Amino acid sequence: VDPNLNLAEEIKRLKKEKNAVILAHYYQLGEIQDIADYVGDSLGLSQQAAATNADIIIFAGVHFMAETAKILAPTKKVLIPDLSAGCSLADSVPVDKFKKFIEDNPGHTVISYVNTSAEIKALSDIVCTSSNAVQIVNSLPKNEKIIFGPDRNLGNYIQGLTGREMKIWDGACHVHEEFSLNRILEIKREHPNAKILAHPECKQPILIAADFVGSTADLLRFAGSDLASEYIVATESGILHQMRKKYPKKLFIPAPPLDSSCGCNDCVFMKLITLKKIYLTLKYEIPEVTLDASLIDKAKGSITRMLEISS
């Protein structure tokens, strides 16, 4: 790529020429969020994918998100700028083991977090995201037995909020598991008025210490309230770009993991996507996310059921 090329301008031009749309997650680099047509959480991104009129969707996020877009918009070309942008949480639930888990617990309704492969979604009755998990669980009759996977922290949190006992898969995300409560409390001592915001994938002690728990979009909304002007944010650091952009007069401090030199926590998979890769993907229309039509068929029901409940 010519170093003198204005990547943002070229991306804009190619997008128009090819009727393409860029959907970006809040954990993406700031410069990517700034050129995206839509920036959002997992739920918002899937709703956008289902509704778009574009011919090409460039997914600036991780693989399961692009797969979900493909399932919801199978006639569109879905491109992801780096195929190795995976997810440690999605990887914590191998398909054969999850199948066995379901067989070992017959008569259960299977709720899967969106951070899963298409194969896991195909084994599930209904999908949820962090912003609608309570709503999805509460939509089921009180006597319904529930399997929840793969995130144990979100599962335990939802179980506490809804009072529903669930069989929870023992998976977790490497980013959210790493936050250190001690280091968060050290910051809180220096900023006693700061509110602690946490994503429900964090471990329980952090969720207990948090003033507000929610999806990335929920945290962003809460940061706009008049309750405080300082926030300690326990989720992937990309969301701070959006918070600082929306509320420039407020102070946002990334919650640190136990062991880090940068003082914040990045998702290595999310950060594989760069502006240069987006430009090349748009130009050459690779790598493409493809799925078998039969797998799309099997996985679609659980996602559309979620979208119907969340609409």
173 touches ligand 13P by CB under 6 A = yes
298 binds, among ligand 13P, ligand SF4, none (CB under 5 to 8 A by kind): none
Name the β-bridge partners of 263: none
Rounded to a whole number of angstroms, the minimum distance from the CB of residue 45 to ligand 13P is 8
> What's the gap between Cα 47 and its chain centre?
13
Residues 236-275 that bind ligand 13P (CB under 6 A): none
In angstroms, what is the minimal distance from the CB of 12 to ligand SF4? Answer: 27
- Cα separation of 173 and 88, whole Å? 6
What is the binding site for ligand SF4 (CB under 6 A)? 62, 87-89, 115, 173-175, 236, 267, 269-270
Q: How far apart are CA 71 and CA 50, in angstroms?
A: 9
Residue 37 or 91 with smaller CB distance to ligand SF4: 91
Residue 115 lies near ligand 13P (rule: CB under 6 A):
yes
* Residue given tokens 């502006």 in the structure block: 275
Among ligand 13P, ligand SF4, none, partner that 35 touches (CB below 5 to 8 angstroms by kind): none
> Taking a C-beta distance cutoff of 8 angstroms, is the pair 300, 49 a contact?
no
* Closer of 46 and 115 to ligand SF4 (Cβ): 115
220 binds ligand 13P, rule: CB under 6 A = no
Residue 20 or 62: which CB sits closer to ligand SF4?
A: 62
Binding of ligand 13P by 28 (CB under 6 A): no
Residue 39 or 123 having the CB closest to ligand 13P? 39
Residue 256 is classified by DSSP as P
- What is the distance between the alpha carbons of residues 197 and 200, in angstroms, rounded to a whole number? 10
- Round to whole Å and give the CA distance between 173 and 178: 9
Nearer to ligand SF4, 172 or 253 (CB): 172
Interaction of residue 201 with ligand 13P, rule CB under 6 A: yes
- Between 15 and 70, CB nearer to ligand 13P: 70
Between residues 33 and 115, which has the closer beta carbon with respect to ligand SF4? 115
Near ligand 13P in 8-27, by CB under 6 A: none
| 8 A C-beta contact, residue 267 and residue 247 | no
Residues 207 and 157: beta-carbon distance below 8 Å? yes
49 within 8 A of 85, measured Cβ to Cβ = no
306 binds ligand 13P (CB under 6 A): no
Alpha carbon distance 164, 281 (integer Å): 44
109 bridge partner residues? 146
Which residues touch 279 (CB under 8 Å, ≥6 apart)? 1, 5, 7, 10, 11, 14
Least Å from the CB of residue 88 to ligand SF4 = 4
Q: Report yes or no: 42 and 215 within 8 Å, Cβ to Cβ.
A: yes
CB of 2 to ligand SF4, least distance (A): 32
CA–CA distance, 99 with 227 (Å, rounded to integer): 45
Told to check if 130 binds ligand 13P by CB under 6 A, we report yes
- Cα 267 to chain center, whole Å? 11
Residue 216 is labelled as binding a ligand: yes
Residue 264 marked ligand-binding? no
Binding site for ligand 13P (CB under 6 A): 41-42, 115, 129-130, 173, 199, 201, 215-216
Binding residues for [4Fe-4S] cluster: 87, 173, 267
